[in-house]
Structure 1
Amino acid sequence: MRDVRERTESLESLVKKRRRDPVVVQTLRSAAAATIAYVIALRLSPEQLPLTAPLTALLVVQVTLYATLTNGIRRVNSVVAGVLVAIAFSLLVGLTWWSLALLILAALGVGHLVRVDEYVPEVAISAMLVLGVTTVGDTAWARVVETLIGAVVGLGFNLLLAPPVWVDQAGESIEGLARRLRQLMLSMGEEVAGRTPVERTAARLHEARRLDHDIVEVDAALRQAEDSLRLNPRVREGLLHRVVLRTGLDTLEICTVVLRVLARSFTDLAKEREPEPLFTPPTGAAVEQLLAEIADAVVSFAVLVTTSVSANAESAEARLTAELHTAAATRDKLAQLLREEAERETRHWQLFGAVLTEVNRILDELDTEHRTRRLLEELDRVSQDQRERMPRLTRLRERLGVQEQLWRNRTGMGGRFR
């Protein structure tokens, strides 16, 4: 009986988790919007199978409300432009092989002219579908009606049922990047403490370079999260969330670049000292210890950036501060050891200095004071950009007291990283 109860509880928790999963929510929303658009088009369109309406609704109901609004307008413009081009060609030349070629060229040109971006091919597709039938006028009108139905249903669906917010997924991506950085740092520290061949250090350098692909994937997830926060009625203080996550990813990206440079320094040092070890045993142990401490601090930084609950944020900040303090002490110890090695081996003093400079740069990027200044500067920059691009909306926000609330939260958010 107990096993059955535990399995039932686990199944219920899994179902609840899936119900909150943005992928599941988005799939259900897209299917429902397309079905509703088709039912409405059956009553309003002269076509027997008005599939353009559900297709438009499916494309318009994007993952975010911001993308829905922008894509809906562009898609309607692309279809209407294609229909107008098809009507013009049908009246002038009809459908032949050469007129089809001219139609495609003209439609693609018009698509770029009306700036429908990724829907430029839709202009040509709409034009060919309309031109390929005999009753051009009826078909053109039906296609425009179906497109409008699909776009309105898609827009209304996202206004009434707000799309999911992808902040958690972006946070998981950022934490995943930090943990990959940590694993690479631990591997590099373990290897430089012993007799490391050049091939091993070169392999770590290539592994550090491959982290650029991970950053691209995290950046895509973060862009999706940023769009999901824009114009979303379920989200308050979306600007703060966007800036905190974006600046956090920027810091991790800088750490990744510096780590790649550090791997390059280790590789050059291994070439210079082969077959001897990179460092003496005391120095190698200090390097391994420092990289392990920095690796833990990188993960704590990612947890701090992606934590929204104040209590958890405070504990994450305290843990990060303690880890940075410990790493700074180890850094000072390493600096003395590297100085002694540089005095004994003057040929390698530049590489020893480069190693110390690179670990210092990572520690500076993770520093909470540096993080606070960068966060507040980015908030000021984004706020200034909004004032310049949308002065009327900014004045309206100030009248409603939204701007003052943003500045109060800005101060509190900045204090969270001190």
Structure 2
Amino acid sequence: MRESPWERWRQRVDDRLGDPIWWNDVLQLAKTVLAAVAAWVLAASVLDLPQPFLAPWAALLVVHATVYRTFSKGMQQVAATVVAVLLATVVGEALGLSTGAIALLLVVALVLGTVPWLGAEATTIATTGLVVLTTGFDDDVMLIARLLDTAIGVAVGLLVNVIVWPPLRRHTAAKALDRVDDGIGELLTDMAGGLGEGCQDEDVDGWIDRSRDLDGDLDQAWSLVRQAEESARMNPRRSAKVMKNPREWHELLRRMEQAIAETRSLARTLGGQQAHREAWGEAFAEPWISMLGDTGRATSAADPEALLDVRRRLEVFTEELRSTERSPEWPIYGALIINLRNIIDAMDRVAAANPIGRSRVPIRLPMGRVADA
């Protein structure tokens, strides 16, 4: 029975509502808006500053994806904002609001933006300075007010990002790891299916290309794990302790790195053979292809027991071949067996860890809507 459009839409919405990464992004957006609005209200309504636009501007600059980056990158951006305010005041006092003043301000701002300590914030200095220059600069009280605006935005942004559920990116990293091990399992399963049906050279080329794609996914996973590690720095949440030194996650990434390399080596070995099953003989081809498929399915399902079972079967199979087989294809048998054994040994710990685990948010659309559709 085919799914109705409503059911497909409902499934997509449920997937999104249960995705902790999506909720993390929503929370970050809400915190950014909250910080900017709070800074504006404090500067405009509470302190009644004359032009409080720099308060929400500074708050937007400070709220970053991690607490550590809020302090490090955010402070660079705040310093750039202060420099821009002072620069606009000096240029405005000297040249007034003119074409020459704007040109000079932009040149100096872009040069200052190359200073390493400012973190290459040339655009921030230029845009902030331009706004300050064109909205008024000829009053010392205005200069102090704008510096106060900036300070308010900085303080509010820091407080909101640190106090209101400080971001911890472990779910993002875990999902990236989960995507890689799923990809490895799917590739192994497809390879087994292709061998069973009689693969062609283009099939082997496709498997090798997919292994390279997995390398790209793995690079992204490494990057996200590093970001998760950064998100734990200066993070007051209790769960941040695990991510401050995620050695286990690094080990899982290295194991998947090895599994991808072994899978590519396996594909290249297969690509060097013509008429695979016919050349090997059914005594080797049938059990080995079966174990390859089982390895892929166990990897996708994150089932360490199933992987260990395949490992035991492979050991028994190897011993039987050693005592009975005298085929000239022995070098190929050995290469394929070693590749498969190394993949299993690499992925059993990954399956046992199952990084993403049960991290879905328990929010779904009400079932009653389906009956009404």
- Taking structure 2 as the reference length, the TM-score comes to 0.74
Amino acid corresponding to residue 23 of structure 1 in structure 2: D
Measured at CA, do residues 176 and 129 of structure 1 come closer, stay the same or move farther in structure 2, by a change above 3 Å?
Answer: same
Retained in 2: the 8 A contact 1:37–1:57? yes
Q: Which of 208, 211, 216 lines up with 1:208 in the alignment?
A: 211
Structure 2 match to 1:250: 254
Structure 1 segments unaligned to the other structure (5+ residues): 1-12, 304-318, 373-418
Cα shift at 1:163 = 1.6
Structure 2 segments unaligned to the other structure (5+ residues): 1-13, 354-373
Distance 1:152 1:211 in 2: 43
Structure 2 match to 1:21: 23
2:28 is the alignment partner of 1:44: no
- CA offset digits 1:349-370 (Å, max 9, x no partner): 4x555434433432443465xx
Retained in 2: the 8 A contact 1:259–1:358? yes
Measured at CA, do residues 17 and 357 of structure 1 come closer, stay the same or move farther in structure 2, by a change above 3 Å?
Answer: closer
Structure having the larger proportion of residues in helix: 1
Retained in 1: the 8 A contact 2:114–2:120? no
Structure 1 match to 2:59: 57
- CA offset digits 1:203-255 (Å, max 9, x no partner): 22222222233224433443343233222222253346722223322322332
Cα shift at 1:70 = 1.7
Measured at CA, do residues 77 and 292 of structure 1 come closer, stay the same or move farther in structure 2, by a change above 3 Å?
Answer: same
2:199 is the alignment partner of 1:196: yes
Measured at CA, do residues 290 and 105 of structure 1 come closer, stay the same or move farther in structure 2, by a change above 3 Å?
Answer: farther
The residue correspondences of 1:234-249 to structure 2 (distance < 5 A) are 234-236=237-239, 237-239=241-243, 242-249=246-253
Structure 1 match to 2:285: 284
Structure 2 match to 1:31: 33
Amino acid corresponding to residue 326 of structure 1 in structure 2: V
Distance 1:260 1:164 in 2: 37
Structure 1 match to 2:130: 128
Distance 2:201 2:254 in 1: 31
Distance 1:41 1:286 in 2: 73
Distance 2:19 2:293 in 1: 36
The residue correspondences of 1:319-338 to structure 2 (distance < 5 A) are 320=304, 323-324=307-308, 326-330=310-314, 333=317
Retained in 1: the 8 A contact 2:67–2:167? no
Cα shift at 1:36 = 0.9
Q: Which of 341, 344, 355 lines up with 2:336 in the alignment?
A: 355
Measured at CA, do residues 15 and 267 of structure 1 come closer, stay the same or move farther in structure 2, by a change above 3 Å?
Answer: closer
Measured at CA, do residues 291 and 120 of structure 1 come closer, stay the same or move farther in structure 2, by a change above 3 Å?
Answer: farther
Structure 1 match to 2:272: 268
Distance 2:336 2:16 in 1: 50
Q: Which has the higher contact order (CA 8 A, sep 6+)?
A: 2
* Secondary structure in structure 2 of the residue aligned to 1:344: coil
Distance 1:181 1:115 in 2: 43
Distance 1:297 1:136 in 2: 71
**% identity of equivalent residues:** 25
Cα shift at 1:67 = 2.0
Amino acid corresponding to residue 77 of structure 1 in structure 2: A
Structure 1 match to 2:366: none
Measured at CA, do residues 338 and 100 of structure 1 come closer, stay the same or move farther in structure 2, by a change above 3 Å?
Answer: farther
RMSD: 3.7
- Taking structure 1 as the reference length, the TM-score comes to 0.67
Cα shift at 1:129 = 2.0
The residue correspondences of 1:121-200 to structure 2 (distance < 5 A) are 121-137=123-139, 140-200=143-203
* Secondary structure in structure 2 of the residue aligned to 1:21: helix
Distance 2:316 2:16 in 1: 52
Retained in 2: the 8 A contact 1:79–1:147? yes
Distance 1:16 1:195 in 2: 42
Cα shift at 1:82 = 1.9
Amino acid corresponding to residue 74 of structure 2 in structure 1: G
Measured at CA, do residues 331 and 47 of structure 1 come closer, stay the same or move farther in structure 2, by a change above 3 Å?
Answer: farther
Amino acid corresponding to residue 324 of structure 1 in structure 2: L
2:234 is the alignment partner of 1:231: yes
